[in-house]
Amino acid sequence: MPCRNTAAALPLLLVMVACGGPAPVAPPPEQAATEPATSPASSVPLRGIVATSQGVTTFCECGAPSGQAVSLADPTGELAKAYASVGANPANGIYIELDGSPAVDGKTLALTTLRRARALGEGIACDTPVFEGEFVASGNEPFWAVEIREDGITFRSPEEPNGRTYPYAFTRTETGSVVYATKIEKPAVSTLEVSLEPVRCSDSMSGELRSFKAHVVLDGKKLEGCARAGVPNGEFGSAPLDELNRFTGTYPRTVHLWREPALSKRLDALLGTSMREFLENMKVQSPLMKDHGVFYVTGNKPHQGGVDNAFFLADPASDTLVVILFVKGSRHDFKEGGRDVALPAEIATMIGNVEKP
C-alpha cells in the first residue's frame, strides 16, 4: 500500500521560503519566444502528503511504499501557514508540491520552495497526475481556467466548457514574470493575455496555495487568479519510462495508464493474448508505486487474491517492462528482451505468499 504519513525513517531538512516559480533567465522584455525549446516550465516537483502530530512532522512522497515516510523540519513556519491557508488539521495532513534535491550525505533532502499546498479530500492529492503542460491557472467569481501547453493555450469557462484554444506564444519580462499574449481570428477575433507573476497566491475559494499569481485579459476583460507549473511531456527524464513519474500515486484505472503512449504498444507486444488475463487480474489494484527506481502495480481478480494475481513492473534504468501473472494459481512471467527487473520488497513478499504451498 502507498505510504500514508507513517513513522519517520530518515531526517529531512526543509528550508522553506516564500513561494516562487522557476528561476528564469530573462531576455529583454520585447523579445518574444514562439518555440517550445524555450519553455518556461523547467523543473519537476517533489509531491506527497505532509502531516504534523505531537510536534513531529512527516512527509510521504507520492507512490512511496509503506514505511518510507521521512521527518520534516519547518524552521520558518511555512507549513503552519499552509495548514492555516487550506483550513486543514495538521494531524490529518495536506498535499504539497515542493522543489528540492538530495543533500550530499544522501540522508537528508534540502527543499527550497513550497510550490503548492492543498487540503486532502478535495479530489486532488496523489491520485491526480502531474499536469502535462507548462502552466494551469484558474480563478473564481466568475470561474475560469487556462491550460498552457506547447501545442496551444486553452481558455475555459462555464459558457465554454470545451474551451477555446489559441496559438502558443510567450515572453519573459525582466522581473521574471511570464507573459503569454495570443490571438485567434476565427470564428471571431479574440485576444488572450496571461501574465504569471512568481509570488505566493491563495485560491479565493479553496485556500489552495500556488506559486504564481495569474493576471488574465480576455478580449479586454480582466480576470485574476492563481497558477501552478506543470511538467511538459519528456521532461521527467531521458528514459522512455521516466514519463511514469507523472502518475505515481494514481490508480491505473482512473488515468487509463495501460493506454498511455509510454506503455500501450509495449504492453500489447509483451502480453499478446494474455492481455485479457492481465486486465482481469488488475481489477482490484494498487496505485502506481515506485521503490528504488522501479515502478510497480499489484492487482488481483475480485475475490480471487492468491489465485489470480497480476504484478506490473517498469524499470527506466534498463528500459524494461515485466509482468508476472498468476492464473488459477499458475505463474507466467513476461519479460521484455528476457531481462529481469529487481523485485520491490512489497512484490517479493506478495509473490512469496501466493507461492506458499
Average pLDDT in the chain:
84
The answer to whether the CB of 223 falls within 8 A of the CB of 144 is yes
Nearest to 135 by CA among 61, 24, 26, 220: 24
Span 269-284, average pLDDT: 97
Query: Torsions phi, psi of 261, nearest 5?
Result: -55, -35
Does 9 score more than 50 pLDDT?
Answer: no
Q: What is the pLDDT of residue 232?
A: 93
Give the residue with greater pLDDT, 56 vs 146. 146
Q: How confident is the model over 307-321, as pLDDT tens digits?
A: 999 999 999 999 999
Nearest to 79 by CA among 96, 55, 62, 63: 96
Does 220 score more than 90 pLDDT?
Answer: yes
Give the residue with greater pLDDT, 99 vs 290. 290
Q: What is the pLDDT of residue 79?
A: 84
Q: What is the pLDDT of residue 1?
A: 52
Query: Torsions phi, psi of 109, nearest 5?
Result: -130, 115
Span 263-285, average pLDDT: 97
Span 213-231, average pLDDT: 96
Domain extent listing, the chain: 14-23+41-119, 135-229, 240-354
pLDDT band per the 50, 70, 90 thresholds, residue 147 = very high
* pTM (2 d.p.): 0.83
Q: Please state, in angstroms and as integers, the Cα–Cα distance from residue 54 to each residue in 30, 95, 124, following that order.
A: 53, 19, 26
The answer to whether the CB of 295 falls within 8 A of the CB of 260 is no
Does 246 score more than 60 pLDDT?
Answer: yes
Q: What is the pLDDT of residue 123?
A: 57
The answer to whether the CB of 91 falls within 8 A of the CB of 52 is yes
Record the cell numbers describing residue 245, joined without a space: 513519474
Does 122 score more than 70 pLDDT?
Answer: no
Amino acid at 124: I
Q: How confident is the model over 291-309, as pLDDT tens digits?
A: 999 999 999 999 988 899 9
Q: What is the pLDDT of residue 121?
A: 76
Does 224 score more than 80 pLDDT?
Answer: yes
Q: What is the pLDDT of residue 56?
A: 81
- Torsion, Cα 247 251 254 259, to 10 degrees, reads 60
Record the cell numbers describing residue 34, joined without a space: 514562439
Half-sphere exposure of 37 (CA within 13 A, CB side): 1
Nearest to 83 by CA among 115, 51, 58, 111: 51
